[in-house]
Structure 1
């Protein structure tokens, strides 16, 4: 075997991965781009221009509100939970239990999650009935089937996801750094203000951006909750494909998808930069 063949042999391991990316990422992206600039088989800017209309802009704002609010709440609460876990024993029962539960809950979504909240806090949900009968508080309402409900349900899986992605950064903080700061007379606040905080900030912001992208692209849970109206972009795409009102506007769904691709690409680009900065001190 020649030297060139030996050097190229390790690269063959990338072939299945590149094939996966081609089928499930590159080709769909090309189809979306072509479809966004096409209408009834002809090149057109009508679908892209429709992104500036009031209904689409409203759905985009609502999607950004849902994604940003759930990302911030999930990052703060998930970060605190991850810190509580990392202060315990690395091989302790608490850490194993929390990480296992978070791994399950971070993937618990779609119709099952929507049904769980409907069965709990809807008009005749178990918690709604309990609070009404015991303390006279009625928490039922249409809010569960609109943007506030989407925010509540999305936060449910954002918190455990934050624990999973932020825990390695907390593990990367070395005990020697804390001891060195204490030996120099630094208080706990001064350590987190000048050492721990600046080190963890890129990882925290990167994790928050990851939560934002996760919420922005989520569809199944919101689709199960909201049966009427299009408060967020994924549901607007569904309406463009299936609605009897938006007839002949299937290519609008491509334009909306392209808009989502651009937003997620920007967010993930920033995430990659922050992860690269974090990796410098995690080595």
Structure 2
């Protein structure tokens, strides 16, 4: 434990005490050199956010507490407790959590391998380029790619059959299942994890590793007592972001199967598209529930990320 304390002190830097060193952060104030052009420059972003984020969100909030005759009601919110809707939320939470945890673990190992593993530099560049593309590859193209690869008549499935292996045998793999959907989500979850965690890994100072080695710590001890504790805020924040990313995904699951997955976005789509079972008020309340969950996950990510950046500085 002496090694741990010494390394932690080196990582955190010197600690100054006393009134002479202590400083008080000045209260927030607008810079005096701001000009009208600075506000005009961010004008398009503000307009876009108001038109396509704030106004639709306000409309959903109003609809969630409005009956079909326009009167105020809590029935739409109470409808979220029905077994079907509550089950869809629980299913979505489990899929999002599983894909986030597995994607974060695999992405972390891959990022550590290419950044601190001594691999050639071109592998790092190729992985980052691929991650930038794959993290945005979702929806119908991704679903078609997995169906053509791992579907019942997919390329890989037929290759395994030619070798005498039927991955769709009873009790075997099934793409249209919980773990099949998690596997599909991992295609964009892992690259997103690599892109987000890479700067934090680059922020691990070599001096910390050298100090640990000088004090006799093994690589495993360094990662257990120094590396992972320093990366932990970034990991927690990234987990929240990956969870929110998977929780709001709908096109991929809908393209794989329109009815096999009881996730919230698909059920929400069925409520607002106007079929015989449609209920716009209930759909608005479901959308409000999704907003609350994803907003909470993103708030956790932002708060933890700010604290992690302060630590790395």
Q: Is TM (by shorter chain) over 0.5?
A: yes
Q: 1:202 to 1:6 in 2, by over 3 A?
A: closer
Query: How far did residue 148 of structure 1 move?
Result: 2.6
Task: State the distance in 1 between where 2:33 and 2:214 align.
Answer: 56
Using the TM superposition, name which of 144-153 and 83-92 deviates more.
Answer: 83-92
Query: How far did residue 139 of structure 1 move?
Result: 2.6
Give 1:106-125 correspondences, 5 Å limit: 106-125=135-154
1:104 aligns with 2:133: yes
- The 3-state SS of whatever aligns with 2:137 is coil
Structure with a larger share of its residues in helix:
1
Q: 1:6 to 1:256 in 2, by over 3 A?
A: closer
- The 3-state SS of whatever aligns with 1:38 is coil
Task: State the distance in 2 between where 1:159 and 1:271 align.
Answer: 17
Query: How far did residue 69 of structure 1 move?
Result: 0.1
Preserved contact between residue 66 and residue 151 of structure 1 (Cα < 8 Å) = yes
Q: Over residues 26-64 of structure 1, what are the superposed CA-to-partner deviations in whole Å (9 max), with x where a residue is unaligned?
A: 111101101111121222211111000000010001000
Give 1:92-241 correspondences, 5 Å limit: 92-139=121-168, 143-229=174-260, 231-241=262-272
Query: How far did residue 12 of structure 1 move?
Result: 3.4
Structure 2 equivalent of residue 276 of structure 1: 306
Query: How far did residue 152 of structure 1 move?
Result: 1.3
Task: State the distance in 2 between where 1:142 and 1:91 align.
Answer: 36
Question: Greater Rg, structure 1 or structure 2?
Answer: 2
Query: How far did residue 96 of structure 1 move?
Result: 0.7
Preserved contact between residue 102 and residue 163 of structure 1 (Cα < 8 Å) = yes
Structure 1 equivalent of residue 59 of structure 2: 31
With normalisation by structure 1, the TM-score equals 0.92
Task: State the distance in 2 between where 1:5 and 1:84 align.
Answer: 45
Task: State the distance in 1 between where 2:303 and 2:87 align.
Answer: 30
1:266 to 296, 300, 306: 296
RMSD: 2.1
- The 3-state SS of whatever aligns with 1:42 is coil
Query: How far did residue 126 of structure 1 move?
Result: 1.2
- Pairs aligned (count): 280
Q: Which runs of 5+ in 1 are unaligned?
A: none
Task: State the distance in 2 between where 1:121 and 1:184 align.
Answer: 50
